[in-house]
Amino acid sequence: MSPAALPSRPRRAILLGAATALLPAVPVAAQRVPPANRVTVQAVNDLTVAIYNHARRYDGFGGGVGRIEDGLGACAALLGEACLVVGAQFDLATGHFGNPVIRVTTKAIDPGPDKIAIGQPVFAERINSFLVQLNTSLKYVLPFPPADFPDVTAVFRHIAAALPSAEPGWVPLTVPEANRPRRMPLKEAYELRPKLHEILHRIGASELGDERINLCTSTLAQTFRMAVNFEARIMLLLVYETIFGMAKMVPAIGPQWRRPGTVLGPA
């Protein structure tokens, strides 16, 4: 769907305060339910509140109400990174890939045949399979009619064509300019990651396990439930493009932020 086909929002879309009535955690797909899904309502609530507070830090008004594009964008960035981390078994401390990926080099990031860099596009079939399963889960947990959801094949094709030439760290979006998050998704995921890891450790879940995706998926659903005054088609397209783009982008690693393009070393 082209940007011209999408109306801009007539009123400012905002995030309300963190709700107490939460959705249950939902598995990535029925055939991939872990033996013991440790994701709890409290875990979803804690991550939702963290994202809400993170979003309104940068756009507080009238008592600190956040912009929905920033909240959903940050949540989608975290979920997309989760798909890459789990699908590629990517060690966020060392930059090591447990499962192989194919590097996609660009003029902006060209580290050479044996190097890989933060923000560089990568490809792996296992990551794609997670995205296909995630699409099924999102249609189950999000309260929107099927017609509001973007065409997954079109999103795949757009990201594959546009991501290699996009500004490093940013996902190429087709939503109207007024409906785009203002902060780099790669950095949003990096800044929210410590809270995500804190919650995963608390519930006894692995940083590289399915529960990382389950927790982020349920948190995205809850973030949508906190929002008012938004066009569902626009926000869903924003979310899908951000998730799919972040799932194909090498995350930032280490205890300190390093800019996209920083070479990590051999994959």
pLDDT score, position 112: 55
Q: Phi first, then psi: what are they for 187, rounded to 5°?
A: -75, -35
Contact 130, 247 (CB under 8 A): yes
Tokens 């991501």 sit on residue:
163
Indicate the SS3 state at residue 61. Answer: coil
Tokens 């949508």 sit on residue:
224
Tokens 């051999």 sit on residue:
266
Contact 111, 117 (CB under 8 A): yes
Question: Residue 87 and residue 6: Cα distance in Å, rounded?
Answer: 32
Question: Residue 103 and residue 119: Cα distance in Å, rounded?
Answer: 11
Helix or strand run (H / E) with residue 228: strand 227-228
Burial class from Cβ neighbours inside 10 Å (0-12, 13-18, 19+) for residue 117 reads buried
pLDDT score, position 36: 46
67: which strand partners? 14
Contact 238, 180 (CB under 8 A): yes
Contact 258, 40 (CB under 8 A): no
pLDDT score, position 31: 33
Which value, to the nearest 10 degrees, does the dihedral of the CA atoms of residues 82, 83, 89, 94 take?
A: -40
Sign, CA torsion 163/166/170/171: negative
HSE, CB side, 13 Å, CA atoms: give it for residue 1.
19
Q: What is the pLDDT along the chain (267 residues), one digit of tens a residue?
A: 433 344 444 444 545 544 333 334 444 443 333 334 688 899 999 999 999 888 877 654 434 556 889 999 999 999 999 999 999 999 999 899 999 998 876 655 555 556 789 999 999 999 999 999 999 999 999 989 999 999 999 999 999 999 999 999 999 999 999 999 989 999 999 999 999 999 999 999 999 999 999 999 999 999 998 887 889 999 999 999 999 999 999 999 988 899 998 888 655
- 212 token code pair: 């990382």
DSSP string, 81-143: HHHHHHHHTB-TTT--BSS--EE---SS----TT-EETT-BEE-HHHHHHHHHHHHHHHHHS-
Question: Residue 202 and residue 42: Cα distance in Å, rounded?
Answer: 11
Tokens 């939460």 sit on residue:
22
Burial class from Cβ neighbours inside 10 Å (0-12, 13-18, 19+) for residue 7 reads exposed
pLDDT score, position 78: 97
